[in-house]
Amino acid sequence: MQPADKTALTEVARSLLRAMQQNDTAAVRASTLPEYAQDFSGMAGTIANTAPHLANAAFVPSTFWILDASHPANGSDGSPQDTQFFCNLNKSPAETSFLIRSLPQGRYALVVEDSVKPADPWEIAFLLKQSSAGAWQLAGLFPRAVSAAGHDGLWYWRAARAAAASRQNWTAWVDYQEAQQLLKPVGFVSSSHLEQLRDEQGKAAPPALSSGVGVDTPLIVKGKDGVEYRITGLGPDASLSADRIDVAMHFAAEPIADPAAGRTRNRAAASALLNAYPDLREHFHGVWVFAETPNSPPFATEDPMSQLP
């Protein structure tokens, strides 16, 4: 990377950070590509939700990448195609890769900035595109917390390894996912280290999850009353910022009009999961349950482990 590029990218990122800290959506919008600035509601919401976490925080640049897609091959219909980039790290076998869907031609950069504060640290990634006049404009904004319940991604990676070594594979499954969420800067970025994490998670996966868990491959658990629950998602949830993270489970459900009955069903589903795989009780704060019904928002509840029979 040329020094002039790095200087320009640093200045743009710092300007965007100052605007985000002040929840100044107009200033961020003014620095955004016109095609994204036209409908700015989604990005404005992201800025508003993120601003409280950035207030009074200092930031240091973590990484810079130039992603040159000036001459990609378009599809037969002229549409932008998926574009992949590879970067070796410090002349070592380690590698970072990028896969961006339907990327228009242009010269891009990804700038990652880390907040410097002991509590509630955040990381902001900016995807920028260089205009014909040479200015860098915002093409994507990716803020995220880099700790959960007071621990960073490496802590959860070590915890997952320890759980796997103790044959607590269900706990390891959740902790590996939390580690990945905290260590992965953007959804379209991968690296040798993240691939190693995913490989470890796959090897430690409980047999019931060898094919993953999803709508087409549900995990079925049965309650003490014989009712079956088809779990379509199982992972971590750090939204409560408690001393420990929660387990989050999604299951396919029929609509229930009565909220009290829905809460009772969610609690029964959580208990069925914990009774089937008891090592989950030992390491997490509680269980978030998302009962997902067709054509309606999920009915979500959270209960601490102590309240789940």
Reported as a single tens digit per residue, the pLDDT across 67-101 is: 988 876 666 566 777 888 888 766 666 788 888 88
Could you report the per-residue pLDDT of 245-279, keeping only the tens digit for each?
A: 999 999 999 999 999 999 999 999 999 999 999 99
153-165 and 192-204 are packed helices; what angle lies between their axes, rounded to 10 degrees? Answer: 30
pLDDT at 280: 96
Instruction: Report the alpha-carbon distance of residue 287 to residue 308 in Å, rounded.
Output: 9
Whether pTM exceeds 0.85:
yes
- As to burial, measured by CB atoms within 10 angstroms (0-12 exposed, 13-18 middle, 19+ buried), residue 270 is buried
- β-strand pairing of 95-100 with 83-88: antiparallel
Tokens of 272: 């069925």
The pairing of beta strand 246-252 with beta strand 286-292: parallel
Name residues whose C-beta falls within 8 Å of residue 26's C-beta, 6 or more positions apart in sequence.
none
- Report d(CA 61, CA 225) in Å as an integer: 55
Give the Cα separation of 172 and 10 in Å (integer).
Answer: 38
CB-based burial label for 108 (10 Å; 0-12, 13-18, 19+) = buried
pLDDT of residue 98: 86
**pLDDT tens column, 38-74:** 999 999 999 999 999 998 899 998 889 999 888 766 6
User: How deeply is 46 buried, as exposed, middle or buried, from its count of CB atoms within 10 A (0-12, 13-18, 19+)?
Assistant: middle
Measured CA to CA, the distance from residue 221 to residue 177 in angstroms comes to 21
What domains appear along the chain, each with residue ranges and CATH number? 3-70+103-145 (3.10.450.50), 151-208 (no CATH), 209-307 (no CATH)
Cα separation, 88 vs 96, in Å, equals 6
Phi, psi of 256 (to 5 degrees): -130, 125
- Average pLDDT score over the chain: 91
- Of 153, 104, 148, 155, nearest in space to 130 by CA: 104
Model pLDDT for residues 133-166, shown as the tens digit of each residue: 889 999 999 999 999 999 999 999 999 999 999 9
Distances, alpha carbon 250 to alpha carbons 106, 247, 256, 269, 304, in Å:
40, 10, 16, 10, 17
